Chains A and B, each alone.
Chain A
């Protein structure tokens, strides 16, 4: 990923303005952390960057390119949720490979890519397990990687 520039970003739900003109620029490779009390708008802002919420006003640029109306899967970024975004009825391998499967990627390619991800994360021995048979950390890694993986395809995890 990339440099991010938010210019005078606003979010309105009807008459209620919840993001009131935010300017932030995040350099390439930077680790930025949003903090604030509940209801301050930090999650809304993140969802707007990911494309899960529309932007009412202002500009969001990724590497200088206007992203306001680009659909989430075309933004080239990934989002991980706090709760484990894993399907309970699928194995770790199926979870990791799910977005590729949806796209109709062939089975051999999915297997190869899932293998790469599992290797990076030391999940190789757990690929046939279902989420309930994993520890918390293993579950987190499962969805981290799923997103990273999808991230390279420009597909945020829901």
Chain B
């Protein structure tokens, strides 16, 4: 179906508007995705721009599956454009390019499941307690409890991880997203 639509578009060169619930269709077919919520446009851009630079938490969580994890957090210190962000769970990340945040500010840290990877204990950014692991063969989804909603790490490859097991994870710092408390993105430079 996707291939046929792509071919149809290529041969007719028609302007096309397509409505779908299917993420993969939207991501692969669109020159531009228009994300709507409650009768308003949340963001309209190239699929990869939506994925990499969502304007707000809604778009961040709508694009991508499993959806982006959100950790309630606070800015502990700011040094130039480098900020130390401490989550309500008590772990922290130091992010560069975090301009425009103030020490003490409450915000929300967004990390996609695929930006959490399995690490050696010594190299781990955080160690979490697995509440559920789902083995898909090519990858393993590890759900873990947080102060907020449960979060998911999408780990490459097959791993047998038991409930209650401690799982050391590495965070892709460059792909961390910041949102203010109203859910608007705080752009990283």
Residues of A within 8 A of B (CB): 1-4, 11, 17-24, 26-37, 39-43, 45-46, 49, 137, 140-141, 144, 148, 151
**Is the CB–CB distance between A37 and B37 below 8 Å?**
yes
Residues of A within 8 A of B42 (CB): 36
Q: Which of A2, A27, A33 contacts B29 (CB 8 A)?
A: A33
**Is the CB–CB distance between B15 and A137 below 8 Å?**
no
Cβ of B7 to closest chain A Cβ, rounded Å: 10
> Is B30 among interface residues, defined by CB-CB distance under 8 A?
yes
Given contacts A19-B39, A33-B26, A35-B62, contact A46 B19 (CB under 8 A): yes
How many A-B contacts are there with CB distance less than 8 Å? 113
**Is the CB–CB distance between A46 and B17 below 8 Å?**
yes
Given contacts A35-B62, A36-B36, A140-B1, contact A22 B17 (CB under 8 A): no
Interface code B15-41, partner A: CB below 8 Å = 1, 0 otherwise? 111111101011001111111111111
**Is the CB–CB distance between B36 and A45 below 8 Å?**
yes
**Is the CB–CB distance between A148 and B12 below 8 Å?**
yes
**Is the CB–CB distance between B37 and A40 below 8 Å?**
yes
- Size bracket of the B interface: 20 to 34
Binding site secondary structure of chain A: mixed
Binding site secondary structure of chain B: mixed
Residues of A within 8 A of B15 (CB): 1-4, 26-32
Residues of A within 8 A of B36 (CB): 22, 34-36, 40-42, 45
Complex-state Cα separation, A24 to B62, whole angstroms: 19
Q: Which of B18, B23, B31 contacts A34 (CB 8 A)?
A: B18
Give B12's nearest chain A residue, CB to CB.
A148
